[in-house]
């Protein structure tokens, strides 16, 4: 591949790094990946021809993406290191020999896709480069017309030059769809774009003019260069769009500064040249010498003249003013009358002024446009991010399309999924219990549920929504199954929950609302009717300002719950409310008590302290029993705690791993919090949420967030952090195993040595000195390290470029390194050194 000199950061961009990471030979791979993503031609192709394929990243992508057993042929001037499933050969694509070799490889087949990413040796004059490139494109298209199947795709790289339009015109004659695109991985600074030509028309006869560079590229006339724009608006850079001036293939152009003074079109000079020179030509230039000596020709002016391409508007103005002054001095104005001269000068200055004002407006407009564009871009990006998040949520079954409806109408709104009024009315409440979705027969569902009709009609159940409900439930179950397969903790939690489900009857206590029953048909209706509206999904928040007992509205609502129905008289013992805590609060409470237990155990070191604590707890417990509380250790829960290994003494080895738990533990240990506080904390705004009839996935999702945030103390956070740090500091398993292996081998060696020494010691025919010598020899041999074999580094260049086996003349271990990579590493080191 022709080595392009790329500079600085640009070359080591993310695509370059990504290519290295993914094992592609060039960052160009991503261009093809992105083009294929947009047009999808590789998956459909069985035969592919890659013209100008070295080093072969496009072939790699093609081999990865195309169907197995596809034929991929790659050709380039440079050798291509072999790629599995790809035939490569070295040749110039403009030659007949290359064409014959391609024919040999393709046999009677035709290519579905022809790729061309050719770039002739860039770095000479731009105009030549672009022209050669355009010619190369035409050549590759010639090959494409010969080898492409009807309807096939031709992808080519084109440089934006003046020949670009001519090329597009030709493509349009031969293909049904032609699109030019610049993949994101193609650098913005690069003039390359890719043209994807689809649907090869495969005409019987192609006009040779279409493929002849002379006739194709001759047709477009040279556009007049817009020098004004270059001079008056130099910040807006037009990079090589117009290509190079016909007949002038040099990149650097300079004229004597005197020419700039004399010319009638100074703008053209400033816009098209690189330098105004003060150097004397061989035959001498008096005007230039005089100009050089003028006081007006300041160092600043000279600096400006030195590189016109880097100048801004201010500098160009300065040069124009300088020119006017010099012209006046040189007497260019005396040819006309003084007035005319003044007029001329004024004219020239006037030329600049209005342009400036216009530019100002233009600039402002541009700034506004830019601002607007950035705003739009930001909005688009945000929108995209939002969409992406939604898609991910959907994929995780965390959301459903119906949520859009929820957003619009609210959970109880018109057409909402959870129109509870209707459910309430229909008496279906008893069928939905324990937060689980009732699996009703379809007929029942239609009869009893009327989601979204606001309770006006009993018949209009939306079958689509029901269907969606079912689908979501099924999906959620699948998700849970998957999760429980992968996550032991989740399994344990689920098992515990299920177990709790059996015991915990919550608000539905006493009701005959087993799952099984829910699945039964409406034969239970009678019993439901016997106890009409035992529970209601909707509570009228407005009703009953004050209850007879003088209770406040909130208290009245609280005691209005079914759970208090059977209790006669005024409820005095608030402790009973423990039963009405929701699952999370119960968990928190239980966890708190467990923590209490742990702390108590941790304090067991001192008997005295322990007995004190036990006494304290006992006292509290007695007290609570008096109050009607009974603290029961949650043995059943512990039994389900799969992950926790019980300790030798039979107690659970529960570790405090969260800062919240640690804070709680500290508070309990220091007496800052008592058991009552824990119970008290259990009552919060989430405790009395109505969960009946809500689907499980919704409850699960809610349950993750509807917990009160517990305060965390700095010392607790620090303690947990320290604990985690200690955990992280442990060596990883691999390292540990390697160390153990090393130790084991050393022990084995030692054992062997010991045996040998014992044998030597027992040897009768040896003197003591000989024995000692032999043993010390054995010892030194055992402790001697084998020297490491040196790896020879071979740079893959010259004869070693692209070789598959051992490089010639290299013995022992070797490693072939990329010359480029080596250079990069050296450059990095150099830079790092400089920075120091
Ligand atoms: C940008 S590289 C191609 C990169 C390639 N697509 C990849 O993914 O690795 C351009 C290649 O065109 C090749 N080339 C230029 N002129 C050629 C010609 N006349 N015949 C064959 N290959 C040519 C160069 O040798 C160079 O390797």
Question: Could you report the per-residue pLDDT of 698-738, keeping only the tens digit for each?
Answer: 888 888 888 888 889 999 999 999 988 888 887 788 888 99
Do 33 and 141 share a structural domain?
Answer: yes
| Closest residue CA from atom 5 of ligand 1 | 53
Domain of residue 192 covers 14-217
Report if residue 802 sits inside a domain.
Answer: no
Secondary structure of residue 314 in the 3-state scheme? helix
User: Model confidence over 370-406: pLDDT tens digits?
Assistant: 888 888 888 988 888 888 777 776 666 555 444 444 4
Cα separation, 593 vs 662, whole angstroms: 13
| Closest residue CA from atom 18 of ligand 1 | 92
Q: State in Å: Cα 794 to ligand 1 middle.
A: 25
Report if residue 131 sits inside a domain.
Answer: yes
Pocket perturbation via mutation, ligand 1, pick of 52, 99, 192 by most ligand atoms within 8 A of CB: 52
Pocket perturbation via mutation, ligand 1, pick of 20, 49, 119, 138 by most ligand atoms within 8 A of CB: 119
Cα separation, 808 vs 821, whole angstroms: 22
Pocket perturbation via mutation, ligand 1, pick of 15, 31, 54 by most ligand atoms within 8 A of CB: 54
DSSP tag of 425: H
Secondary structure of residue 76 in the 3-state scheme? strand
Secondary structure of residue 815 in the 3-state scheme? strand
Q: What token pair was written down for 830?
A: 């150099």
92 labelled ligand-binding:
yes
| Closest residue CA from atom 19 of ligand 1 | 92
Residues with CB under 6 A from ligand 1: 1-2, 25-26, 28-29, 52-58, 76-78, 92-94, 117-120, 136
Q: State in Å: Cα 190 to ligand 1 middle.
A: 16
Ligand 1 closest atom vs CA 32: 8
Ligand 1 closest atom vs CA 92: 20
Ligand 1 closest atom vs CA 29: 8
Closest Cα to residue 584, out of 767, 706, 745, 763?
706
462 labelled ligand-binding:
no
Q: State in Å: Cα 77 to ligand 1 middle.
A: 7
528 labelled ligand-binding:
no
Do 150 and 65 share a structural domain?
Answer: yes
Cα separation, 391 vs 380, whole angstroms: 16
pLDDT (0 to 100) of residue 97 = 92
96 labelled ligand-binding:
no
Do 276 and 186 share a structural domain?
Answer: no
- For 344-401, strand residue ranges (E) read none
Cα separation, 405 vs 810, whole angstroms: 72
Ligand 1 closest atom vs CA 93: 20
Do 192 and 271 share a structural domain?
Answer: no
pLDDT (0 to 100) of residue 199 = 93
- For 429-473, strand residue ranges (E) read none
Report if residue 209 sits inside a domain.
Answer: yes
pLDDT mean values, one per 10 residues, the chain (836 residues): 47 80 90 93 94 93 92 92 92 91 92 90 52 83 92 91 84 92 85 91 84 73 53 51 46 81 80 83 81 87 84 81 84 56 49 55 80 89 84 62 42 47 50 45 43 43 70 77 75 68 41 39 40 46 46 62 58 43 49 48 44 44 43 43 56 79 90 87 79 82 82 91 86 87 91 89 86 88 82 86 85 86 88 89
List for the chain the helix, strand, coil content (%; round to 5): 55, 10, 35
Active site positions, annotated: 157
Q: What token pair was written down for 121?
A: 């040796």
Ligand 1 closest atom vs CA 136: 19
Do 112 and 91 share a structural domain?
Answer: yes
Ligand 1 closest atom vs CA 60: 8
pLDDT (0 to 100) of residue 260 = 86
Secondary structure of residue 814 in the 3-state scheme? strand
Q: State in Å: Cα 76 to ligand 1 middle.
A: 6
Report if residue 73 sits inside a domain.
Answer: yes
Report if residue 826 sits inside a domain.
Answer: yes
Q: Which of 278, 303, 337 is a domain's end point?
A: 337
Q: Are 597 and 543 in contact (CB under 8 A)?
A: no
In this structure, the number of other CB atoms found within 10 A of the CB of residue 416 comes to: 19
Sign of the dihedral through C-alpha 461, 465, 467, 473: negative
Cα separation, 585 vs 459, whole angstroms: 39
Q: Which of 280, 314, 337 is a domain's end point?
A: 337
Pocket perturbation via mutation, ligand 1, pick of 77, 158, 183 by most ligand atoms within 8 A of CB: 77
Q: State in Å: Cα 184 to ligand 1 middle.
A: 21
Report if residue 578 sits inside a domain.
Answer: no
Q: Which of 312, 337, 362 is a domain's end point?
A: 337
In degrees rounded to 5, what are phi and psi of residue 183? -65, 150
Domain containing 149 — which CATH number?
3.40.50.150
Sign of the dihedral through C-alpha 399, 405, 407, 409: negative
In degrees rounded to 5, what are phi and psi of residue 816? -90, 130
Tally the domains of the chain.
4
Do 51 and 194 share a structural domain?
Answer: yes
Report if residue 573 sits inside a domain.
Answer: no
Q: State in Å: Cα 250 to ligand 1 middle.
A: 24
Q: Are 474 and 497 in contact (CB under 8 A)?
A: no
pLDDT (0 to 100) of residue 435 = 44
Do 25 and 167 share a structural domain?
Answer: yes
| Closest residue CA from atom 25 of ligand 1 | 1
Do 113 and 19 share a structural domain?
Answer: yes
Q: State in Å: Cα 525 to ligand 1 middle.
A: 81
Q: Are 791 and 815 in contact (CB under 8 A)?
A: yes
What is the interface pTM, i.e. ipTM, of the complex?
0.99
Cα separation, 430 vs 821, whole angstroms: 73
Ligand 1 closest atom vs CA 157: 1
Do 265 and 168 share a structural domain?
Answer: no
Report if residue 696 sits inside a domain.
Answer: no
pLDDT (0 to 100) of residue 552 = 54
Do 206 and 102 share a structural domain?
Answer: yes
Q: Are 151 and 200 in contact (CB under 8 A)?
A: yes
56 labelled ligand-binding:
yes
Do 38 and 139 share a structural domain?
Answer: yes
Do 314 and 262 share a structural domain?
Answer: yes
Q: State in Å: Cα 163 to ligand 1 middle.
A: 20
């Amino acid at each position: 591949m022709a080595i392009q000199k790329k500079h600085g950061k640009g070359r080591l961009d993310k695509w370059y790094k990504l290519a290295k990471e993914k094992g592609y030979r060039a960052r160009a791979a991503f261009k093809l990946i992105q083009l294929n993503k947009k047009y999808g031609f590789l998956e459909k192709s069985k035969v592919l021809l890659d013209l100008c394929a070295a080093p072969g990243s496009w072939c790699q992508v093609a081999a990865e993406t195309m169907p197995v057993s596809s034929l991929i042929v790659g050709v380039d001037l440079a050798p291509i290191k072999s790629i599995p499933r790809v035939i490569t050969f070295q040749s110039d694509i403009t030659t007949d020999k290359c064409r014959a070799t391609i024919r040999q490889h393709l046999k009677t087949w035709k290519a579905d896709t022809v790729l061309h990413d050719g770039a002739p040796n860039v770095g000479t004059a731009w105009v030549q480069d672009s022209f050669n490139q355009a010619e190369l494109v035409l050549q590759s298209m010639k090959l494409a017309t010969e080898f492409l199947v009807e309807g096939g795709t031709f992808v080519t790289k084109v440089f934006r030059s003046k020949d670009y339009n001519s090329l597009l015109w030709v493509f349009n004659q031969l293909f049904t769809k032609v699109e030019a695109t610049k993949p994101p991985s193609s650098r913005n600074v690069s003039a390359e774009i890719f043209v994807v030509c689809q649907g090869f028309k495969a005409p019987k006869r192609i006009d040779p003019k279409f493929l002849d560079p002379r006739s194709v590229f001759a047709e477009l006339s040279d556009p007049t260069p817009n020098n004004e724009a270059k001079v008056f608006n130099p910040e807006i850079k037009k990079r090589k769009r117009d290509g190079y001036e016909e007949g002038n293939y040099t990149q650097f152009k300079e004229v004597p500064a005197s020419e700039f003074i004399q010319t009638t079109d100074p703008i053209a000079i400033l816009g098209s040249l690189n330098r105004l020179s003060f150097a004397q030509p061989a035959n001498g230039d008096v005007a230039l010498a005089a100009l050089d000596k003028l006081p007006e020709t300041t160092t600043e002016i000279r600096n400006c003249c030195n590189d016109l391409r880097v100048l801004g508007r201010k500098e160009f103005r300065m040069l124009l003013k300088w020119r006017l002054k010099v012209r006046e001095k040189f007497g260019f104005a005396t040819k006309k009358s003084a007035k005319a001269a003044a007029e001329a000068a004024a004219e020239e200055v006037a030329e600049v002024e209005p342009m400036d004002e216009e530019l100002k407006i233009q600039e402002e407009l541009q700034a506004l446009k830019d601002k607007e564009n950035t705003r739009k871009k930001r909005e688009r990006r945000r929108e995209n991010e939002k969409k992406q998040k939604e898609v991910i949520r959907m994929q995780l079954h965390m959301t459903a399309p119906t949520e859009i409806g929820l957003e619009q109408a609210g959970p109880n709104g018109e057409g909402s999924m959870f129109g509870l009024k209707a459910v309430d009315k229909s008496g279906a409440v008893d069928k939905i219990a324990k937060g689980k979705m009732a699996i009703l027969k379809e007929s029942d569902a239609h009869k009893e549920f009327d989601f979204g009709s606001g309770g006006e009609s009993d018949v209009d159940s939306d079958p689509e929504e029901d269907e969606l409900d079912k689908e979501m439930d099924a999906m959620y179950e699948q998700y849970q199954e998957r999760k429980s397969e992968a996550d032991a903790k989740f399994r344990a939690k689920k098992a515990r929950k299920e177990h709790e489900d059996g015991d915990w009857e919550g608000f539905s206590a006493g009701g005959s609302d087993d799952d099984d029953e829910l699945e039964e048909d409406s034969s239970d209706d009678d019993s439901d009717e016997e106890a009409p509206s035992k529970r209601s999904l909707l509570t009228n928040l407005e009703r009953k300002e004050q209850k007879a007992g003088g209770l406040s509205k909130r208290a009245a609502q609280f005691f209005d719950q079914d759970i208090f129905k059977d209790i006669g008289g005024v409820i005095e013992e608030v402790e009973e409310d423990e039963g009405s805590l929701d699952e999370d609060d119960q968990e928190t409470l239980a966890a708190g008590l467990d923590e209490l237990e742990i702390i108590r155990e941790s304090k067991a070191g001192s008997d005295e302290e322990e007995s004190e604590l036990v006494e304290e707890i006992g006292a509290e417990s007695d007290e609570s029993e008096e109050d009607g509380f009974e603290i029961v250790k949650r043995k059943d829960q512990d039994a389900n705690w799969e992950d926790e290994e019980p300790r030798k003494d039979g107690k659970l080895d529960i570790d405090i791993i969260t800062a919240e738990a640690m804070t709680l533990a500290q508070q309990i240990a220091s007496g800052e919090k008592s058991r009552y506080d824990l119970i008290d904390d259990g009552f919060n705004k989430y405790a009395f949420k109505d969960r009946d009839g809500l689907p499980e996935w919704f409850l699960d999702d809610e349950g993750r967030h509807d917990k009160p945030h517990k305060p965390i103390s700095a010392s607790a956070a620090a303690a947990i952090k320290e604990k985690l740090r200690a955990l992280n500091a442990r060596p990883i398993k691999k390292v540990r195993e390697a160390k153990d292996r090393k130790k084991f081998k050393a022990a084995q060696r030692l054992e062997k040595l010991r045996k040998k020494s014992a044998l030597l010691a027992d040897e009768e025919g040896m003197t003591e000195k000989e024995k000692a010598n032999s043993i010390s020899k054995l010892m030194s041999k055992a402790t001697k390290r084998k020297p490491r074999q040196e790896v020879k580094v071979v740079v893959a260049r010259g004869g070693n470029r692209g070789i598959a086996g051992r490089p010639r003349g290299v013995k022992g271990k070797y490693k072939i390194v990329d010359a480029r990579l080596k250079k990069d590493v050296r450059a990095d080191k150099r830079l790092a050194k400089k920075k120091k």
